[in-house]
Copies of this chain bind each other. A is one copy, B any other.
Amino acid sequence: AGLPKYRVKKYYQTPVPGIALGLGWSENGGVPLYVESVVDLYQPSAGLRATGSLGDVMKESIEIGYTYVKRYLELNVDPKNKFFEKNAIHIHAPEGATPKDGPSAGITMITSLLSLATGKPIQPNLAMTGEITLTGKVIPVGGITEKLIAAKREGVKKVVLPKDNRKELEDIPEFVKEGLQIYLANYYSEVADVAFNETPTLQPVEIKTRKSID
């Protein structure tokens, strides 16, 4: 509403636990999609509330992420961490007037929640996109080219994508991929590896663009 379309956002200059950067996709191209999680104080019980003009698919995506992250924290990170048992959470996607939908922020939601629960901020200049299933498989999403362009415009240096989107990367022009470290994740644990470690175990891929027949 009256704002330039491609305003660089860079909302968060200092890394704060609970803030994650996803990548959305609209008719106008890719867009940075920030996600914030905070503790929702004085609630009678644990639970999750979500805001940000979210469509039904994104709301379900948050439910899935919430169910997943509770188990992931207990089984894979720290069984003694009772954060989700003890706290109600409020998760929000800023720019409240902009409708947002789709499942591709699944891994972003989980990473935001995990960051909040552990108190560890997410690596800076990192963006991610990928649908999550209830058992932690990262499945492919659309709009990869547009999302990479949006990521670069926002100053992103590292991107996590679903491994099953590898094929699309062969069709994306080199100049789009240039300057981006691209990580392909098959399971959520690989996303967490990149999100929370400056030098992750997972290595970035180098995927050459297919030459057109000449």
CA distance A63 to B7 in the complex (A): 26
Contact check: which of B1, B19, B102, B141 meets A142 at CB < 8 Å?
B1
Which residue of chain B has its CB nearest to the CB of A40? B67
Instruction: Point out the residue from B49, B56, B84, B97 that lies within 8 Å of A103, measured CB to CB.
Output: B97
Contact digits for A1-43, partner B, Cβ 8 Å, 1 yes 0 no = 1110001010110001011000000000000001011111110
**Is there contact, CB below 8 Å, between A42 and B84?**
yes
Set of chain B residues within 8 Å of A179, measured between Cβ atoms = none
Q: How large is the interface on A (under 10, 10 to 19, 20 to 34, 35 or more residues)?
A: 35 or more
Instruction: Write the nearest CB–CB distance from A22 to chain B, whole angstroms.
Output: 14
Residues of B within 8 Å of A119, CB to CB, are: none
- Chain B residues with Cβ below 8 Å from A71 are 38-39, 41
Contacts A53-B56, A64-B92, A97-B57 hold; do A85 and B7 have CB atoms under 8 A apart? no
Per the bound structure, the CA–CA distance linking A151 and B140 in Å amounts to 20
Known: A67-B41, A67-B90, A97-B103. A135 touches B18 (CB 8 A): yes
Q: Give 25 CB contacts A-B under 8 Å.
A: A1-B102, A2-B142, A2-B143, A2-B144, A11-B137, A34-B133, A36-B134, A37-B134, A38-B135, A41-B67, A41-B84, A42-B70, A51-B64, A51-B134, A57-B97, A60-B96, A92-B133, A92-B134, A94-B134, A94-B137, A95-B131, A95-B139, A96-B103, A96-B131, A97-B103
